[in-house]
Amino acid sequence: MDVISVIRTKRDRGRLSDEQIDWVIDAYTRGTVADEQMSALAMAILLNGMDRAEIARWTAAMIDSGERMDFSALARPTADKHSTGGVGDKITLPLAPLVAACGAAVPQLSGRGLGHTGGTLDKLESIPGWRASLSNEEMLAVLGDVGAVICAAGDGLAPADKKLYALRDVTGTVEAIPLIASSIMSKKIAEGTGSLVLDVKVGSGAFMKTLADARELASTMVGLGTDHGVRTVALLTDMSVPLGLTAGNALEVRESVEVLAGGGPADVIELTLALAREMLDAAGLPDADPAKALADGSAMDVWRRMIRAQGGDPGAELPVAREQHVLTAASSGVLSSLDAYAVGVAAWRLGAGRARKEDAVQAGAGVELHAKPGDPVVAGQPLLTLHTDTPEKFPYAAEALADAFAISAADAAASARAAIVLDRIA
């Protein structure tokens, strides 16, 4: 078999055979298929798509490129969550300990931010001492003792995906739904979780800009999970406005702790509870009450134990950026829009994100919101505070926010706050 024939098949809108898929994934992982050849194939897949059987086989080949984890020795049922990425999406931080407090084990393998979307590991690394890299044995030990772990995927888990993900990012093929679905699901299935809840973001701050595209991606991933014996459900959730009141690493950790302490923004609490209920139901614990675990402090207890188990100090002061710059309202009225993508780009430019995987991030950098759409504002009041250690970045970040928000007359009919959960696919 040769790679040129595989590329031509998909270029000419043909269907890849099981043998072609197995061969090309294995050959690329071993390095006998070059990056430029896999780039051509990825572009052909972006343009011409794959059917469900092709995606399932592609996902299986990605899984088979590495090891599989096994959580069968745990006394608790396992449930995991994956978000397709957004702005201010700190939900994993309160969610994992909350679900663990309700009786499930949460093996949360997470990633780093790239571009305008934040990364869970970058956020947690703003906690002094906390480490993302755990061996499989360490991960199992934390799960058994605490009930929740948030860490990086090991090198042995779906190595084909690690190579292909990096390639897609630099070849304009990130948006290919078959490749997004297989990338996410190969890692989650290889991880060995018994059930999975997908948070598929929709809107300007998400990779899926339209509800139709998000439904297609969610349906594809739910089908892949079902085909591989993992109970899978997806929620389509709004990402036209940032989640919560912060976008940035330490800023979002601080806000997550507020949620675990019984406070925090209403939208973060709403989505955390919605996903927790789905995870507990999928894990066979439908009678557990996550709202009670959030209110009585048991989720906070698990958070502290989880952070300590990975070397972190849950009581330590979080980093604060050396410089702040405030953007104020130009007029009085009602904040009618606030674009998630623009806020994400501003946070990235301030140093909260990276353009390349090897770039460092600033723990304290980001954007703090003082109003959300539907809130009344007064001329001159703070709307956004920009945080960074490098103040020369303020103009560059402010430029991204120039058209990010709009204020309507106070007597205009203010639109109702949009629902967070837009649809459910199972």
Active site residues: 82, 161, 168, 183, 187
Residue written as token pair 């948070």? 199
Task: List all residues 6 or more positions away from 341 whose beta carbon is below 8 Å from its beta carbon.
Answer: 87, 116, 204, 205
Q: Which one, of 394, 396, 399, 380, lies nearest residue 328 by Cα?
A: 380
List the one residue out of 107, 122, 195 whose CA is nearest residue 153: 107
**How far is it, in rounded angstroms, from Cα 99 to Cα 108?**
11
Longest CA–CA separation in the chain, Å = 69
Cα 121 from Cα 119, distance rounded (Å): 6
Which strands, in side-by-side order, build the sheet including 421-425? 80-83, 195-202, 231-238, 421-425
CB half-sphere exposure, 339, CA atoms < 13 A: 14
